[in-house]
Amino acid sequence: MTRLSMNRRKLLTTAALSGAALATPAYLRRAHAQSGGEVNIWTYNDFVPEAFREQFQDETGIKINVRLVDDQGKQFSLLAAEAPNPTVDIMTVAGHRFLQFIDSDLLAPLDTDRLSNWGNINPTFSESDWATIQGHKWGAPILSGMEVLAYNSDIVSAEEAQTWDTLFSETYAKQTAYIIQDMMSIIMLKMGYDGNMVEYLDNPERAAAIVEEAKNFLIEHKPLVRKYYDGGAEFQQMMVNQDIVLGHSWNGPAAALINDGFPLGMTIPREGSYGFVYTFNIANNAPNMDNAYTFLNAILASPEVGAAMTKASGFISTYKGASEYLTDLEKKSTSFPEEQLANLQFFRAEANEMKYGLVDPAVEAIKAA
Amino acid sequence: MTFPASAREERGATAARDRTFWGKLSGWAPYGAALRVATASPRRQFLILAICPVIWVLTQHLGPMVQMLRVSLTDAYPVAPGTPQHFTIEHYLAFFHDPLFWQPFFRTLSFAGVFTFCTLVLTYPVAYFLARHVRPKNRMLLLLLLLIPFWVGEIVRTYAIMILLGNTGAVNLVLKWIGLIDRPIPFMYTSFSMGVGIVYLTALYMLLPLYSALEKLPASLNEAAADLGAGAWTRFRRVTLPLTLEGISSGCTLVFLISTGFYATPVLLGGPSTTVFAETIAGFFHVAGDQWPTGAAFAIIMFLAALLVTAAFQKLMSSLRKGDSK
């Protein structure tokens, strides 16, 4: 009988604990997110400098919870799955992906009157065409980047790196890497087409034919590539391990390697490339809206913070005067010659629905081929 | 009147118990009544005991799969609140209509089969040595040593493989040092590196069933075979192997099923020509859109295919065991 009594206790305790454990995640998710002392951020690695994070937490008592993301599409899917009650307050959306998030009611319009430091952003970014949609601002520009051809300068010459063709040459077979989705736009540009697909908005058949041509090009050259990758850290690792000697990259991870002393060079090849701007955005129905504005205003407060973001991420700061806080090497790794910048154009969002409707299946086809 | 010491101790223990939460609860009449009703018969006691594991299985195992099945039958997901959803099987048909997806699908099944066989071949001698040649008192220590890599997560172990096989990794450095190569061999981002990673990650799931089967095998059977003149190879082929088929079957099933679902390892270690179906499925969840149902449908297809292959394998092993027992 004593044994039975012990079993009952254990049984009841186990049942109670199991019930509590099963109920906890759902309860915690909202309760945790709604408490007044924190702000939840989805962002890329190093976009919130550690020193700023500690200082902000000390001064405001607001805890910063960062969840790292490495892809705009994944971020969209995560947020869409949580809508209309997201757990996140601030996300990091690239300017050319705004429309998709706005059309799905995932972003809240930014009330710039609540951001006394809004004026610290270079107007080239804060007041540009893409920054205002439906009469509202939707994000605070923080860093700008571009798609570059990065190369190990001990092995590949600067001359060779002036063209995307080198990435697909037999000389460097199995020593290259790229992000397929980004390369689709670049290949379209290299072939003389509009990689933003805005020109073909009224001609979907033409758009489909161009995507097919770019897809076939990448499938044909698939035997030459070592790795399709997804995130900047992967690119850095492959370069350091000498698994690759050149590849398509975002300028941020490449600049970070240069700043660390790795023999790396990067160019905007003569066929052209695309630039983009990362922005901090507030989620629609964010659980900690006030804290989100406090965070945004704080991170925009000083060009030193902008410089710290550049130092950590390698991307170019959008803050006025941030470059004054960079070393000569950091300035060099975040700037390009005028003749190369002339080849750069920014990603545009107008044709995104059509573009990604065609490009995403093409990417899967290339991977599967 | 005096009580025996044991009775006094029992009464003291009862009094102490009464002061605790559980003691008070035991004395509470409604609780007692509920308990009597709940444990009135062995059948009810069984139901009470079964409720926790059943809840666990329903919520943690079947729940997500049912949810995935539901998503796979909707026309779009995730969708904006208020957007109507309709049931459809078009995402399942998409797989059969588009040969594009067949290659990673069959590649996954064949990779899983090959890697399972490699894992079996590599771990069988280890399990045999452990079960037949290590003294019983040292077996636990050796098993613990074999388990050490499994104390860390899949990603960390995958990165360890990357450190080993990279162009500047340990393997290439050693080969270069002993003069076998001048330039590093590009092990990484190939089916070889992916295979090494998957075999390494799944070895334990093969090793333990094999060890268990070999340990149960009486040494006297092999001794009898030897007395009758059977050589080492014959003893292994005619005695050891047939009697460990059950362990082989369990290990292979586990490793095969796990291998079909690996995602991170192929992404990190694989190359452009090793795209597995899990990566194709993940692609539908990662792209910015409402393509989750296609990914969910493909996941269900892979799940069913893996089960079918496993069932066929089990049937084969079962017939082999029956054949040997005749």
Give phi and psi for B293, each to the nearest 5: -60, -35
Which residue, among B61, B171, B287, would best test binding to A if mutated, counting the most A CBs under 10 Å from its CB? Answer: B287
Contact assignment for A73 to B287 by CB distance below 8 Å = yes
Window from A12-16, A322-326, B6-10, B193-197 with minimum mean pLDDT: A12-16
Contact assignment for B101 to A368 by CB distance below 8 Å = yes
- Burial zone of A321 (CB within 10 Å; 0-12 exposed, 13-18 middle, 19+ buried): middle
Alpha helices in chain A (DSSP H): 2-34, 50-60, 72-82, 98-103, 123-126, 180-190, 204-220, 232-240, 251-259, 289-299, 303-313, 328-333, 338-341, 352-368
Query: Which positions in chain B touch A227 (Cβ < 8 Å)?
Result: 189, 271-272
- The HSE-up count of residue A355 (CA atoms within 13 Å, CB side) is 25
Q: Residue A103's pLDDT is what? A: 85
Contact assignment for B184 to A369 by CB distance below 8 Å = no
**Residue A342 pLDDT > 60:** yes
Nearest C-alpha of chain A: how many angstroms from B318?
36
Count chain A–chain B contacts defined by CB atoms under 8 A: 100
Where residue A131 falls among pLDDT bands split at 50, 70, 90? confident
Contact assignment for B49 to A100 by CB distance below 8 Å = no
% of chain A surpassing 70 pLDDT:
90
Chain B's closest residue to A69, CA to CA, is B286
Nearest C-alpha of chain A: how many angstroms from B277?
9
Query: Which positions in chain B touch A239 (Cβ < 8 Å)?
Result: none
**Residue A312 pLDDT > 60:** yes
Q: Residue A99's pLDDT is what? A: 84
Among the partner-chain residues A5, A226, A364, the one whose CB lies closest to the CB of B280 is A364
What is the C-alpha end-to-end distance of chain A, expressed in Å?
68
Chain A's closest residue to B79, CA to CA, is A80
Average of pLDDT values for B12-33? 77
Domain segments of chain A as ranges: 38-143+278-323, 145-275+334-368
Q: Which amino acid is at A302?
A: S
Chain A's closest residue to B173, CA to CA, is A241
Where residue A242 falls (left for φ over 0; alpha for ψ -120 to 50; beta otherwise) is: left
Alpha carbons A100 and A138: distance in angstroms, whole number? 12
Alpha carbons A34 and B283: distance in angstroms, whole number? 32
Contact assignment for B288 to A100 by CB distance below 8 Å = yes
**Residue A30 pLDDT > 70:** no
- The HSE-up count of residue B124 (CA atoms within 13 Å, CB side) is 16
Among the partner-chain residues B59, B78, B81, the one whose CB lies closest to the CB of A22 is B59
Chain B's closest residue to A102, CA to CA, is B80
Q: Residue B17's pLDDT is what? A: 60
**Residue A12 pLDDT > 50:** no
- Burial zone of A240 (CB within 10 Å; 0-12 exposed, 13-18 middle, 19+ buried): middle
% of chain B surpassing 70 pLDDT:
92
Radius of gyration of chain A (CA): 23
**Residue A76 pLDDT > 60:** yes
Where residue B136 falls among pLDDT bands split at 50, 70, 90? confident
**Residue A117 pLDDT > 80:** yes
Average pLDDT, chain A: 87
Among the partner-chain residues A8, A225, A243, the one whose CB lies closest to the CB of B188 is A243
Over residues B244-267, the pLDDT tens digits come to 999 999 999 999 999 999 999 999
> Do the first three CATH levels of A38-143+278-323 and A145-275+334-368 match, i.e. the same topology?
yes
Q: Residue B6's pLDDT is what? A: 60
Superfamily of domain A38-143+278-323: Periplasmic binding protein-like II (3.40.190.10)
Over residues A229-266, the pLDDT tens digits come to 988 889 999 999 999 999 999 999 999 999 999 999 99
Alpha carbons B68 and B294: distance in angstroms, whole number? 10
Q: Residue B9's pLDDT is what? A: 62
Among the partner-chain residues B80, B81, B167, the one whose CB lies closest to the CB of A241 is B167
ipTM higher than 0.85? no
**Residue B79 pLDDT > 70:** yes
Give the single-character DSSP code of A265: E
**CA quadruple A284, A289, A293, A295: dihedral positive or negative?**
negative
Q: Would you tell me which CATH number, out of the four given (3.40.50.300, 1.20.120.550, 2.60.40.1730, 3.40.190.10), belongs to the domain A145-275+334-368?
A: 3.40.190.10
Query: Which positions in chain A touch B52 (Cβ < 8 Å)?
Result: 11, 14-15, 18
Average of pLDDT values for B175-199? 93
Domain segments of chain B as ranges: 1-38, 96-325
% of chain A surpassing 90 pLDDT:
66
Interface contact B289, partner A, CB < 8 A: yes
**Residue B53 pLDDT > 60:** yes
**Residue B1 pLDDT > 70:** no
**Residue A5 pLDDT > 50:** no
Q: Residue B23's pLDDT is what? A: 82
Q: Which helix (H) or strand (E) holds B71?
A: helix B63-72
Q: Residue B15's pLDDT is what? A: 57
Those residues with Cβ within 8 angstroms of residue B264's Cβ, 6 or more apart along the chain or in another chain:
B154, B155, B158
Average of pLDDT values for A302-327? 92
User: In Å, what is the CA distance from B37 to each residue of A12, A16, A116, B28, B172?
Assistant: 15, 19, 68, 15, 70
Query: Which positions in chain B touch A9 (Cβ < 8 Å)?
Result: 22
Where residue B324 falls among pLDDT bands split at 50, 70, 90? low
Q: Residue A264's pLDDT is what? A: 96
Among the partner-chain residues A97, A243, A367, the one whose CB lies closest to the CB of B189 is A243
β-bridge partners, A228? A178
Here the tokens at position B215 are 């340990």
Give phi and psi for A247, each to the nearest 5: -175, 165
Over residues A302-311, the pLDDT tens digits come to 999 999 999 9
**Residue A8 pLDDT > 70:** no
Q: Residue B14's pLDDT is what? A: 62
Q: Residue A31's pLDDT is what? A: 40
Radius of gyration of chain B (CA): 28
Query: Which positions in chain B touch A152 (Cβ < 8 Å)?
Result: none
Q: Residue B39's pLDDT is what? A: 84
CATH number of B96-325: 1.10.3720.10
Give phi and psi for B115, each to the nearest 5: -65, -35
Where residue A210 falls among pLDDT bands split at 50, 70, 90? very high
User: In Å, what is the CA distance from B311 to each residue of A206, B129, B308?
Assistant: 48, 30, 5
Among the partner-chain residues B56, B271, B285, the one whose CB lies closest to the CB of A77 is B285
Query: Which positions in chain B touch A359 (Cβ < 8 Å)?
Result: none
Among the partner-chain residues B186, B275, B288, the one whose CB lies closest to the CB of A76 is B288
**Residue B296 pLDDT > 90:** yes
Interface contact B287, partner A, CB < 8 A: yes
Average of pLDDT values for A323-349? 89
β-bridge partners, A137? A110, A132
Alpha carbons A144 and A95: distance in angstroms, whole number? 10
Among the partner-chain residues A8, A104, A367, the one whose CB lies closest to the CB of B80 is A104
Here the tokens at position B298 are 């493909």
Alpha carbons A197 and A187: distance in angstroms, whole number? 12
Q: Residue A23's pLDDT is what? A: 41
**Residue B224 pLDDT > 60:** yes
Query: Which positions in chain B touch A23 (Cβ < 8 Å)?
Result: none
Where residue A274 falls among pLDDT bands split at 50, 70, 90? very high
Interface contact B106, partner A, CB < 8 A: no
Average of pLDDT values for A306-321? 92
